[in-house]
Amino acid sequence: NAGVTQTPKFRILKIGQSMTLQCTQDMNHNYMYWYRQDPGMGLKLIYYSVGAGITDKGEVPNGYNVSRSTTEDFPLRLELAAPSQTSVYFCASSEHALAGDNRDTQYFGPGTRLTVL
């Protein structure tokens, strides 16, 4: 049981380039999330999904796109990379999302460190 896996671990992009950050979970979780974490700050929610085919915006969605064609995968697409997108990106999943339900624990991947120059 690998949990949540993310690829790549590191990436350097030039301004204007595009890329896809991959996220896969093997826990059959319905809910998946993308966060970004800037240096010295907490995590900010970019997008989330409540199941295959359903996605919704979080706090900082601009400059990103997501899709959820399967339960396992939740890729994050960066179009026209900008220096402001230099950050560490974390993917997470949970079985449920209702606060107080013990099944709402979010399990995080190891992160992708992205630098845009």
Sites of contact with another protein (CB under 8 A):
4, 33, 35, 40-45, 48, 50, 58-59, 90, 92, 97-100, 105-111
* Cα–Cα distance for residue pair 51/29, rounded to 1 Å: 8
Q: Whose CA is closest to 84, among 22, 21, 36?
A: 36
User: 72 or 96: whose CB is closer to another protein?
Assistant: 96
In the complex, least distance from residue 63 CB atom to another protein, rounded to whole angstroms: 19
* Cα–Cα distance for residue pair 33/39, rounded to 1 Å: 20
Cis peptide before 61 (omega within 30 of 0): no
In the complex, least distance from residue 33 CB atom to another protein, rounded to whole angstroms: 8
In the complex, least distance from residue 61 CB atom to another protein, rounded to whole angstroms: 12
